[in-house]
Structure 1
Amino acid sequence: MTDLYSTREGLGPRRDRDVITSEAWQGITALIEQWANNGSLARHFPSYECSDDRGRNTVTGTDMQMFLRAVAGHVPGLAVARQMDGFELSRSPLDPYSVPSTASVLDLIEFVARYVDKPIDATNHAWGGSHTDYTFHQGDGSDPFFDRKLPPGKAELRDKVNEIFERNGIAYVVSDTMQIQRLVPVEARLLVSEFRPSTGDAALDGLLEDAMVRFLSRKPADRQDALEKLWDAFERLKTLEGNNKAVAASKLIEDAALASEPFRKLLTDEFNLLTKVGNDFTIRHRELAKTPPPSDDARDYLFVRLASVIAVVLRHTGRMA
C-alpha cells in the first residue's frame, strides 16, 4: 500500500477524531462490498450457483442475504429503520449515506474481520451460465509453524481500514489481533508503544502493563481505571529501594538524576506534585471532597504526565526492557 501525496508529505489530518465520519463510513462500506464481490466473504457466506454442481461443493460467490442477516444479528445498531412520509422504511445495514453509531461501525469491522478470507484461486466457469468458481485454503489461511503473518484477507482488511482511518483523522486502528484499538494522543504514542517495564517486581510490572493496555480503550471507564492503576504503580515504585517510602523514593530519584542536581530537583518536585495530584483528584481516593478530572483530555494529560516521569526513572535506573 502506497501512501497518497498528502500523507507522504505530512499534510494529512491530525488523528484525534473519536467518531466515524460520513466519508469514512462510505469508504468502509465500499470495502465490504468489494470483499463481497471478489469472493473474500464467500467462504463463510457461500453462494452455490454452478448448474454443473448439484452437490453444492463449488462456491460461486457471496450470499449477500445470508451475510446481511448475520450482520443484523451481531450488530443490531446497523439495522435501524428510518421514517419517510409517515412510513417506516427498512434500509440496508450497509447504506453508505446513513452513518450508524461509531460503536456499531467498529463492531461491524471486527465482525467482518472474523470472516474475511481471500480466495487462493478464482476460475471463470463459462458454461452452464457464466460465473466464477472460488477456491480457498483448506486450513485457516496460515501455517502456524512456518507463517507467523496474518492470512492475506485479514492483512488486507487491517491495512485498508487503517488507511481510511488515517486519511480521515480517526483515532482508531485495527491491530494485528484484528481488534479495534484507540490511538493514544499523538504526543504519547511513542511513550506507550515502547513502555516495557522490567523492574524486578512482578506486581509493579503487572500494574504498569495493565495500565498501558487499558489506556488504549475507547471506554472512558477503562481509561479512568488505567489512571488509577498507574497511580498505584507510582506509589509502589517509590518502595523499590526500600520499605521506607520517603527514603526509598529519594534514593530512586538520586539514581535517576544521573548526578545532575538541577534534574534531581526537577524530579523531586515532579514526584511531590504528582503525589499531591493523586491525593487531590478522584484517582487514589473516592471521598466526595475529591475532584474528578474534568474531561477525557484532562485524564489523558494526567496519565501521560505520570507515565513520562515513570518511564524516565525506569530507563535511568536500568529497569526498562
Structure 2
Amino acid sequence: MSDVYFGEREFGLKPRTKNEIDANVWSGLVALIDDLIDKDYFAQAFPQRCPDFSNSIEKIYETNQLRMTSAILGSFPTLKFPLDVLDKPVTSTILEFIEFCHEHMGKPVKFDYHAYYTHNDLSFDKQKGQREFRSLVNRLFQRNGIIFELQENGQVTRLAPPIVSDILNNAIFQTNDKELDSLLETARVKYLNPNLKIRLESLEKLWDAWERIKTLDYPSDKKKSIEMRLDQASSDIEMRKVIDDDGKKLTEIGNKFMIRHTEVKTIPITSSAYVDYLFHRMFAIIYLLLGNQIGKKLDSTVKEKIREVKPAEEMPF
C-alpha cells in the first residue's frame, strides 16, 4: 500500500517551508517515539536483562525505562520525559532529541523464549531500525511541510529550497584555489544546518568567498580582477551591467548587515527566510562567475549506473 495519500497524488507534495515544529507535528513525533519505546527499539542501548543472566551482555528482553529516562534527562534538561504532547519543547531541542533517538535505535528481533519469565530474548538490527525511524520521521516532516530532514548519518539537516537544492546538496568546488574552495564548502555545510546561528555563519563565509573571487584573476588590482571575471561571465553589454550592479549591491549588503562586520550600526539578520534569500542571491552570482569550477557529486544511483556501462571495446557497435 502506498503511503502517498489522495491529496498528494492529485495536487503534489506540500512545499517544505516551515522552520518550526508545531503542536501537531510534535504530537505525531510523541506517538511515533512512544510506540518505538513500547516495541523495545531502545532496548539495546538501555537493556533490561533476564534475571537469570543479569551479568550477561546478551539475554536482553526489554527496555530499561529508568536507565533510558536518566540518559534523556541528563542530555536534555528542558525536555519532559516521558514525553508530553501538551509540553512541546523548542524546535532545536526536538531536532536534537530526534538525533538522540536515531543514535540509540535498533530494531528488536525475538528469539529464545523463557517460559518461566514469559519473555523472549532479543537481538537487534541497528541499521534497519534506524532506517525505519528515518523514513517515519521524514514522512511526518514531509506531510507537514517541515523543512528539516533526518539524514543517514543521524544528523538533521535543513533542506535547501527546490530551486537550488540539487546544486547545494551535491556541489564540489574545484576553483584551483584551496582557500576559496574551503570557504565555499564551509558556507554550503553551514547553510544546510538547522540552527539559525550556524546558518548566519554561512553568510559570512559566502561573502568572504565573494571578496576572494574579486582578486582571483589579478590579485594586485581588485577592480581590474573583477572586471576580467565579469568579462568571462558575459559578453552581452546589458547583462554584464546587470551582473556588475548586483555584485556591487551584494557587497553593500555584506557591509550594511551583520554578515562580515559586527559593529553596533550593522543590521542583524533575524530570520531563516532572510538567510535563504541572501544566500541564494549571493550564491547565484558566484555560481555564474565560477562557471564550470563548481562540479556535482554523483549519488549512489548514478554511480551504480556508471559501473553497469560496459567498456568501449565490449560495445556491440
Q: TM-score, normalising length from structure 2?
A: 0.82
CA deviation after TM superposition for structure 1 residue 2, in Å: 4.4
* Match in the other structure for 1:18: 19
The residue type paired with residue 134 of structure 1 is: L
Q: How is 1:35-50 mapped onto 2 (pairs within 5 angstroms)?
A: 35-49=36-50
Query: In structure 2, do the counterparts of structure 1 residues 111 and 286 end up closer, same or farther at CA, with 3 Å as the change threshold?
Result: closer
Report the RMSD for the aligned CA atoms in angstroms.
2.5
8 Å contact 1:72–1:93 — kept in the other structure? no
Structure 2's unaligned 5+ residue stretches are 296-317
1:183 to 142, 159, 163: 159
- Which is further off, 38-47 or 182-191? 182-191
* Match in the other structure for 1:227: 203
CA deviation vs aligned residue, 1:76-100 (integer Å, no higher than 9, x gap):
2113xxxxxxxxxxxx431234322
- Which is further off, 221-230 or 206-215? 221-230
Structure 1's unaligned 5+ residue stretches are 80-91, 142-150
1:112 to 84, 101, 106: 101
CA deviation after TM superposition for structure 1 residue 162, in Å: 1.0
* Match in the other structure for 2:118: 130
**1:301 aligned onto 2:277:** yes
**CA distance in 1 between partners of 2:173 and 2:54 (Å):** 60
* Match in the other structure for 1:147: none
CA deviation after TM superposition for structure 1 residue 304, in Å: 1.1
* Match in the other structure for 1:245: 222
**1:319 aligned onto 2:293:** yes
CA deviation vs aligned residue, 1:194-214 (integer Å, no higher than 9, x gap):
432211000001111111111
8 Å contact 1:124–1:130 — kept in the other structure? no
**CA distance in 2 between partners of 1:274 and 1:54 (Å):** 65
- Which is further off, 127-136 or 192-201? 127-136
**CA distance in 1 between partners of 2:13 and 2:110 (Å):** 37
When the two structures are aligned, how many residues end up with a matched partner?
Answer: 292
**CA distance in 2 between partners of 1:2 and 1:247 (Å):** 59
The residue type paired with residue 119 of structure 2 is: H
CA deviation after TM superposition for structure 1 residue 249, in Å: 1.0
**CA distance in 1 between partners of 2:159 and 2:112 (Å):** 43
SS in 1 for 2:173: coil
Q: TM-score, normalising length from structure 1?
A: 0.81
Q: How is 1:269-284 mapped onto 2 (pairs within 5 angstroms)?
A: 269-284=245-260
Please identify which structure carries the higher helix content. Answer: 2
The residue type paired with residue 202 of structure 1 is: K
**CA distance in 2 between partners of 1:36 and 1:289 (Å):** 51
**CA distance in 1 between partners of 2:216 and 2:9 (Å):** 45
